[in-house]
Amino acid sequence: MHELPVTEKILDIIVSHAQRNNVQKVVSVNLRVGELSDLENEWIQHYFDYLAKDSVAEGAKLVIERVPVVMHCNGCGESFQVDVKAMKEIQCGNCDSKDYTLVSGKDYYIKDMEVI
């Protein structure tokens, strides 16, 4: 059920852009979702299919690209990528600092959409 509110938001944004651009039908939507998100792509599509019924986005395919987790090192200022699923200690590869802030990995970004 957790995918539902997120999917609702996605649909709202798509429909408002479709209206502004005189769209008859949305064919596909390109999304970027952060690796930190625990939501499942498959379920997002299921909920989308359900919510988008009878709208301009009915039947649209969600193409989800996963965005890697990137941290900014507060020690040396470098950015570095992290594999959260590996459960290795998060540490800057450049200076070994463990003081970092998240740059990307939490994203839910709608890039563009193919429409008719």
Partner 1 sequence: MDEVRLIEVKEDIRADNEKKADGLRSQLKAEKTLLMNLMSSPGAGKTTLLMKSIGMIKDEIKVGVMEADIDSKVDAEKMVAQGIPAIQLRTGGFCHLDANMVEQGLGAMDVKGLDLIIIENVGNLVCPAEFDTGAVLNAMLLSVPEGDDKPLKYPLMFSICDVLIVTKTDYLSLSDFDMEAVKERAKKLNSNIKIFEISAKSGDGLEAWTDWLKNEVLTFVK
Site residues, Zn ion (CB under 5 A): 73, 75-76, 78, 92, 94-95, 97
| Distances 40 to 31, 33, 93 between C-alpha atoms, Å | 13, 10, 30
- CA torsion 30-36-40-41 (nearest 10°) is 10
Q: Is 58 in the site for partner 1 (CB under 8 A)?
A: no
Q: Is 114 in the site for partner 1 (CB under 8 A)?
A: yes
Q: How far is the CB of 96 from Zn ion (least distance, A)?
A: 7
Nearest to 28 by CA among 112, 113, 111, 116: 113
Nearest to 18 by CA among 73, 69, 58: 58
Q: Is 53 in the site for partner 1 (CB under 8 A)?
A: no
Point out which residues bind partner 1 (CB under 8 A): 1-2, 4-6, 9-10, 13-14, 17-18, 21, 23-24, 27, 29, 36-39, 84-85, 87-90, 98-100, 102, 106-116
